[in-house]
């Protein structure tokens, strides 16, 4: 006699998480404009109608992906701050940067961030989501690190440079321009 385990249905929240993780991968590869909810549904193994039960439209799904990305960034920065060897603002920022460097080794996350910033230029709701995400992260970094405004600004400027270096794989290019951009920048 063959026994089968009772089938366990996933909860709506589990399905939402699955769709969100799948959407991160899909939007990372094709961007906001190039991704359809049909693609996300297919990759997630659910119907498009179910995607729409969880997210009313593609824009809402993308905004959830953007918020998720900022949550991951904030969590990474928190891990870095917790690992800091001192409360000196520069050391806290360095520990946060090291933790973030590990995070952006995930190609999907960095691509979602880049696509979100690009879409923000033309899509007001995406722009507001990106602004809100940066507002949360900047205020978190400022309050936890104790750094001055110029230090926080430099932290984010170097972070954007890291995005560029990783996005164009500048560290693999043996040319003066690439060495200038990458000099002193540590990333995984």
- The pLDDT score that the predictor gives to residue 105 is 80
Average pLDDT for 86-107: 92
Tokens representing 31?
Answer: 């961007």
Q: What SS3 class is residue 154?
A: helix
* Percent share of the chain, pLDDT over 70: 93
Tokens representing 148?
Answer: 């001055």
Residue 107 binned pLDDT confidence (cut-offs 50, 70, 90): confident
Q: What is the pLDDT of residues 1-15, one digit of tens each?
A: 455 555 554 677 888
The Cα 125–Cα 156 span in angstroms is 23
pLDDT at 134 > cutoff 80: yes
CA neighbor of 53 nearest in space, from 19, 104, 82, 22: 19
- The pLDDT score that the predictor gives to residue 90 is 96
Long-range contacts of 175-179 (CB under 8 A, 24+ apart): none
Min mean pLDDT across 16-20, 72-76, 77-81, 118-122 is at: 16-20
pLDDT at 42 > cutoff 70: yes
- The pLDDT score that the predictor gives to residue 28 is 95
Average pLDDT for 26-40: 96
Tokens representing 61?
Answer: 């799904």
Residue pointed to by tokens 């498009």: 48
Per-domain residue ranges for the chain? 59-182
Q: What is the pLDDT of residues 146-186, one digit of tens each?
A: 999 999 999 999 999 988 888 888 889 999 999 999 888 86
- The answer to whether the CB of 43 falls within 8 A of the CB of 26 is yes
- The answer to whether the CB of 32 falls within 8 A of the CB of 69 is no
Cα 85-87-158 angle, rounded to 5 deg: 85
Q: Three-class SS string for 51-93?
A: HHHHCCCHHHHHHHHHHHHHHHHHHHHHHHHHHCCCCCHHHHH
pLDDT at 55 > cutoff 60: yes
Helix, strand, coil abundance in the chain, percent, nearest 5: 75, 0, 25
Fold classification of 59-182 (topology level): Tetracycline Repressor; domain 2 (1.10.357)
Residue 188 binned pLDDT confidence (cut-offs 50, 70, 90): very low
The residue that leads in pLDDT, 98 or 167, is: 98
Please tell me whether the overall predicted TM-score, pTM, comes out greater than 0.75 for this model: yes
């Amino acid at each position: 006699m063959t026994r089968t385990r009772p089938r366990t249905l996933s909860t709506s929240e589990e399905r939402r998480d699955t769709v969100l993780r799948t959407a991160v991968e899909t939007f990372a590869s094709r961007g906001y404009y190039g991704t359809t909810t049909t693609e996300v549904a297919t990759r997630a193994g659910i119907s498009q109608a179910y995607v729409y039960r969880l997210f009313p439209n593609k824009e809402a799904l993308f905004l959830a992906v953007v918020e998720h990305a900022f949550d991951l960034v904030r969590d990474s920065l928190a891990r870095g701050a917790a690992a800091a060897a001192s409360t000196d603002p520069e050391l806290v920022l360095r520990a946060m940067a090291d933790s973030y460097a590990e995070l952006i080794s995930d190609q999907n996350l960095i691509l979602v961030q880049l696509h979100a910033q690009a879409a923000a230029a033309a899509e007001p709701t995406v722009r507001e989501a990106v602004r809100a995400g940066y507002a949360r992260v900047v205020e978190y970094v400022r309050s936890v690190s104790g750094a001055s405004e110029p230090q926080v600004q430099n932290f984010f400027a170097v972070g954007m440079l890291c995005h560029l270096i990783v996005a164009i794989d500048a560290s693999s290019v043996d040319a003066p321009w690439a060495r200038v951009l990458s000099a002193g920048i540590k990333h995984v």
